[in-house]
Every structure is written in C-alpha cells, then in structure tokens.
C-alpha cells in the first residue's frame, strides 16, 4: 500500500459542512478515502457530498448534531448500516462563544463543553470497536493553540475546552496504542473560517493576529486539512500522542 494514499480506507469527519471540516473531507477523498460527513446543515452537507462524488470520490452525508446523545447515536447507527467499518475519525466540530469571562453563563459553559469536548469523547469511545478492528486506525482531534497560550481575542472557556481535548488526545494515544489505534491532534491559530469571522473582520484585531504570525498570513482551511490528512496517512504510522501546531509560527514566537 502506498503510504501516502488512503485507498480502501473509511473516514468520518464531524463538523464537515464548512471551514476546516469541509477542506478535510475533500482532502481525505482526494487521497482515496471514502468519507462519511457529519454536520447539522443539510444543504451545505449535500453540496459537499455532491462535490466529492463529482470528483470521483465516495461520500455519505449524515445530518446530525454530535453535541447531543441522539445525534451521536444516529451517526453510529449510520456507520453500522454502511458496513460497520471505520479507519479514520476526525473530531472537528467546535464552537466559541465570545463573551468576557465574567459575562459567560453556566449555559455557555455547558454548551461549549458539550460541543467541543463531550462530542469527541463520546463519539471516539463509540467508534472504538471499529477502530480497534482496523489495522493502522487513526483519530485526529482538531484543537487550538488557545489550549497552550492565552489568546486575548478568544475566551477562557474555549481555551479550557480545547485543553481538555488535548488531554484526551494524549491519554487515548497511550491507552489505545497497544491496539494499534493512533490518536493525534492539530492546533490551529487563526484560520479563515466562519467561526473566526467575527474577529478577522475587525481590521485592528486582524492586524494584531498577523503581527503575531511569523509567516505573515492567516491560515486557510486547507492548511489545517493537509496536516489532518498527514496524521491519518500510513506515512505517519509511528506518530501518536502528538498535538501538531498548524499556526504559521505563532507558538514559536513566544510573545
């Protein structure tokens, strides 16, 4: 098998209808994977599935909210109906609620944790049997540099949720490594996505972000998608427990 290809592999991507999730879905399909795409918005999801199919790839869409038990159960049931096989899981879904710490409510906290942490925790555990049955299985969690640095244009609860995801990545990698399941993460800095639009549309904030980015540009969804795909490829088969910065040098700058 070509270590730079994913032919014959099945990948599941959450939050797949736009931004990093959509770019990741397309990149996985380009490498030969059959992709199962999960999102809440049917129209965008259908368009993405159609795009993969038009390019000669294989894709199935699942309209579900993985922040809820019902949504996760719907995803697991559909994977089973599609053959009960999974080789790659990309936990990409995530949100941010941009409120100062003292203005954040208990409901804000619960919503962020349900979406950013619980969805990945429960879905990954739910997929365990399929991953354990797949030689070279890979889980990739989409985190954030906010788990390692205080990003003043973000929020405390977002940073805390992504820190929890990092901890999950490390622990699952060590616990499930003997089963042949690799678990890694990527940590983006500011990427041009709908989630970041509220910040990037502010000229002063965008300028400050670029000033802290040694490569001098914002990230694009494809930048992160390619890193995710690398961590899913057989070519990275001896890498696990890593949280890979995809940040234009932000973490290296240190100021």
Q: Which of 130, 158, 189, 190 is catalytic?
A: 158
Query: Is 190 tagged catalytic?
Result: no
CB 39 within 8 A of CB 45: yes
Rg (C-alpha) for the chain, rounded Å, is: 17
The dihedral through the CA atoms of 49, 52, 55, 56 has a sign that is: negative
Query: Which two three-digit tokens encode residue 139?
Result: 């889980």
Alpha-carbon distance of 141 to 125, in angstroms, equals: 13
* C-beta of residue 15 within 8 angstroms of C-beta of residue 44: no
Q: What is the DSSP string of 174-211?
A: HHHGGGT-EEEEEEE-SBSSGGGHHHHTSHHHHHHHHH
What is the maximum span of the chain, computed from C-alpha positions, in angstroms?
A: 53
Q: Sign of torsion, CA 228 223 211 206? A: negative
End-to-end alpha-carbon separation of the chain, Å?
Answer: 44
Closest by Cα among 164, 165, 113 to 139: 165
3-state secondary structure of 69: helix
Query: Which residues are part of the catalytic machinery?
Result: 158
């Amino acid at each position: 098998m070509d270590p730079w290809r994913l032919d014959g592999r099945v990948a599941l991507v959450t939050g797949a209808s736009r931004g990093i999730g959509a770019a990741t879905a397309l990149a996985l399909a380009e490498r030969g994977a059959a992709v199962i795409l999960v999102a809440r918005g049917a129209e965008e999801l259908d368009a993405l599935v159609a795009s993969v199919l038009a390019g000669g790839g294989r894709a199935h869409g699942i309209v579900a909210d993985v922040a809820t038990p019902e949504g996760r159960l719907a995803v697991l049931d559909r994977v089973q109906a599609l053959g009960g096989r999974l080789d790659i899981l990309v936990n990409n879904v995530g949100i941010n609620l941009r409120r100062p710490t003292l203005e954040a409510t208990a409901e804000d906290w619960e919503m962020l944790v349900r979406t950013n942490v619980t969805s990945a925790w429960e879905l990954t555990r739910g997929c365990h049997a399929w991953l354990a049955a797949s030689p070279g299985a890979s889980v990739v969690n989409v985190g954030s540099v906010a788990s390692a640095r205080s990003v003043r244009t973000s929020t405390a609860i977002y940073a805390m949720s992504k820190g929890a995801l990092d901890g999950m990545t490390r622990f699952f990698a060590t616990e499930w490594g003997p089963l042949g399941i690799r678990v890694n993460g990527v940590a983006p800095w500011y990427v041009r996505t709908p989630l970041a639009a509220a910040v990037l549309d502010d000229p002063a904030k965008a300028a400050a972000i670029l000033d802290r980015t040694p490569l001098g540009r914002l990230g694009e969804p494809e930048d992160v998608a390619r890193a995710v795909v690398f961590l899913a490829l057989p070519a990275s088969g001896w890498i696990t427990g890593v949280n890979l910065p995809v940040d234009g040098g932000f973490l290296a700058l240190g100021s």
